[in-house]
Amino acid sequence: MNPDLLPFLPPDVAYLVDAIGAEAAISLASHYAGQSLYVPLPESITDTHPLVQAIGLPSAMKLAQIYQGEYIQFPVCHRLRAEIRHREVIAKRKTGVSINRIARETNLHRRTVALILAKAKRQEGKA
């Protein structure tokens, strides 16, 4: 995940950035959007634990030391998920993928894909 997604992170999840870093916080927020995550005790974490697979051992251990056996509730993160999806659409188009195929692969209407691409083109022109 890209730290420039921080502005799209909901305020009630932004506190995780201080605890585990921007990349890990964004990864958790996008993966667990609308869900709760059980954070195990530090001694329960191994290299194969799903939390370690998601954010790495150092970040997982920091999180476990703070939340020891508690649940973290993640909001749906609409803005974050939309931004990630928009970036995916733009990246696919830059590699030559057709609008119809992007629509199929992202589960969006082709008009939505076209609108995302048009907005990106307008913003590119302003920069």
Task: Kindly report the pTM of this predicted structure.
Answer: 0.69
Residue 10: pLDDT band (50, 70, 90) is confident
What pLDDT sits at residue 127?
58
Residues 6 or more apart in contact with residue 57 via CB below 8 angstroms:
45, 47
* Structural domains present in the chain: 3-73 (no CATH), 78-126 (1.10.10)
Confidence of residue 4 (pLDDT cuts 50, 70, 90): confident
CA–CA gap between residue 74 and residue 29 (Å, rounded): 6
Closest to 12 (Cα-Cα) out of 39, 1, 42, 28: 28
* Tokens, residue 28: 């958790």
38 strand-pairing partners: 71
Percent of the chain scoring above 70 in pLDDT: 98
pLDDT tens across 29-45, in order? 888 889 999 999 999 99
Instruction: Say whether pLDDT at 23 is over 70.
Output: yes
Tokens standing for residue 58: 């150092």
